[in-house]
Structure 1
């Protein structure tokens, strides 16, 4: 409204009703796609929708750049999923991996070709967001989404979704509307709760960013450490990034105290206990159940919000980038859908695409996690003492193949995994019969 009197009347009306107000501009404005969360999955979804020429709004609760608990390894599938022309802000290039079994039986494997790269997540994520913005997406930070609604008074018609934003203490909520919404708001996602995402596996990752002097940094340059840990399914890592070492461990949720002890012992064993971490953080990773939904109505989820990550290694960046791209592409189709039936068809097609591209990898990863949880020594012996296993590891990290492809095409690997599955089934039957 143009006059001061009209502005005052409008404010009084809003204070009286406490109804959600428009986020900005025309209250009838409807975005084609709203993406919630500006991590790799969300930025990739916003980019994919924006390059298709759609009006895209990207919402992020934090100010950017922001820290994220993550080792920051960029393997081949992550590199291949990046937007065209994207220049990775690599802090180091990895040519060697030291493997150890809870600090014992250490062995280093080396490669003439780069295995993978290492990035700082704040830089990497921020650069992905810039790519989305350059493609035409609009970014709003410091915005928290409280809920989404697909029915009710906030929804202007059956082709829209209301995204309700928390404005602050004592102030009314605001609302933005879109023809499609992508939830990429992390493992504690509110959009995932709306969709009904169910998890099969939850793990706790703890990490420290440890600045080190040049003499220590030089010893780690170009080399990472992977330590198969003392807890079932656990492992630790050291990833060098210039003058800082990213040191972390991950294990099943419910073992918080033991996981913290593992990290403390791990750091002490490495001789790094005397250096003060610049950041210490923790994060839960949630891996979806196989039958968990990926959509509800005109709302899709991707990345951590969908529980999409590799269950054995808990590698999530490549899954975030790939699922984010798919979510952005299918969100455009949902935005164009003229009715609920067509929107549902496009959402199902998104789920089929995710399962075809990522579901098989996750299925094999679950089986490998079961093997690793019970027999870490077997995997350590294979990868450090059996050259074909090391070559397979190198080819996977470079993006030349995948774990699922190796199991599918190599009879020895397939038979070994099948045999372990049978052993596990027999063990579970014995336990159930007691």
Structure 2
């Protein structure tokens, strides 16, 4: 073989050893990113530290924006379809609002997440489970050139990629590498409670949302067949108070006599406005980027939408031949996030501040003012958003501004 052919052979071998896109984390954000990059025809590796399926602390509500961000033809493994919402103010002033059309659906995360990963695999992504990422390097001896990122795994193995998407959760390695900054941390506690058929029938098609006793807190009951997902969330800092709220909430509902099959906790983290979304050829999405709605702490739709964008822009970053072009594509990704999800988060922060100060006002408006209920229904169905409502309805803008003061 001539030296020229040998050089070409080595180049091809090195190229095949480098993935176009490596995605770290196989939750909704990571699976969506892997799917988007694989559909574009790129070589994609999806890394997950757990074995799938795995449990995740999450209410499991699928609103319209989540449904619309799913891969084409994806069949939602719905456990229930919600047509009614019961609202209460720390157990008092209970009122149920109903809708002829479905408001949103409920899923169990193990089935849902596994289904999304399967879609990514069908699109061509390769999955590796049971692997933990130790660090990411963009300079140093493990990095062969400036177009490559080294993903170092536990045990010392190194995976090379032209672009990396971090979707490994709010306390993951990739967010730390990028330098994600947070300005809101909340503690969610949840219990999966199996119930008799008579109890399950009473909850079928209906959820409960309870505005809680601590500022910014609320509780929920989400029915999923023969199991009720019961949880509460509040600002981190009073773990004992949050635990007490959950215990009182379960007792008040008459569910204290049923043994939970799973009891779990989870911290949710919202990014600050100036938090970076990329570093070099690495971008973050979903929880790893601190992307979720600050008031309701809804994260699935934010994960799916940001994951899809991250996968699409990771393809462009992978194609970039120099640092300047890679940075340009990463900044375009950040702009897309801030122009959409970032605006929604801004309105959500204002709603959270209002809710912390005046939960009774919000409860009265939602339960007694029909346009507010219609707006709530529109948000859950995905026909509008909080940001869109404030932008297009002068009355909503004036009301929010007045209550801001």
Following superposition, the deviation at residue 357 of structure 1 comes to 1.5
Superposed, 1:46-65 pairs within 5 Å as 46-65=34-53
> Which one of 297, 305, 309 corresponds to residue 326 of structure 1?
309
Partner of 1:4: none
Superposed, 1:16-415 pairs within 5 Å as 29-167=17-155, 173-415=156-398
CA distance in 2, matches of 1:48, 1:26: 25
Q: TM-score if structure 1 supplies the norm length?
A: 0.90
CA distance in 2, matches of 1:282, 1:345: 39
CA distance in 2, matches of 1:408, 1:300: 29
Ranges in structure 1 where 5+ consecutive residues have no aligned partner:
1-24, 168-172, 424-434
CA distance in 1, matches of 2:386, 2:288: 23
2:198 is paired with a residue whose SS is helix
Q: Deviation digits for residues 184-230 of structure 1, max 9, x if unmatched?
A: 00111110000000001000000000000000000000000000000
1:66 is paired with a residue whose SS is coil
CA distance in 2, matches of 1:27, 1:54: 13
CA distance in 2, matches of 1:180, 1:26: 16
**Runs of 4+ in structure 1 over 2 Å off:** 25-28
1:90 is paired with a residue whose SS is coil
CA distance in 2, matches of 1:119, 1:294: 29
Following superposition, the deviation at residue 412 of structure 1 comes to 1.6
Following superposition, the deviation at residue 27 of structure 1 comes to 10
CA distance in 1, matches of 2:141, 2:268: 35
Following superposition, the deviation at residue 420 of structure 1 comes to 2.5
Partner of 2:3: none
CA distance in 2, matches of 1:381, 1:138: 50
Partner of 1:5: none
Following superposition, the deviation at residue 410 of structure 1 comes to 1.3
Q: TM-score if structure 2 supplies the norm length?
A: 0.96
CA distance in 1, matches of 2:274, 2:396: 26
**What is the CA RMSD across the aligned residues, in angstroms?**
1.0
How many residues matched? 393
Q: Deviation digits for residues 347-390 of structure 1, max 9, x if unmatched?
A: 00000011112111000000000000110000000000000000
Q: Deviation digits for residues 228-273 of structure 1, max 9, x if unmatched?
A: 0000000000000000000000000111100000000000000000
Partner of 1:428: none
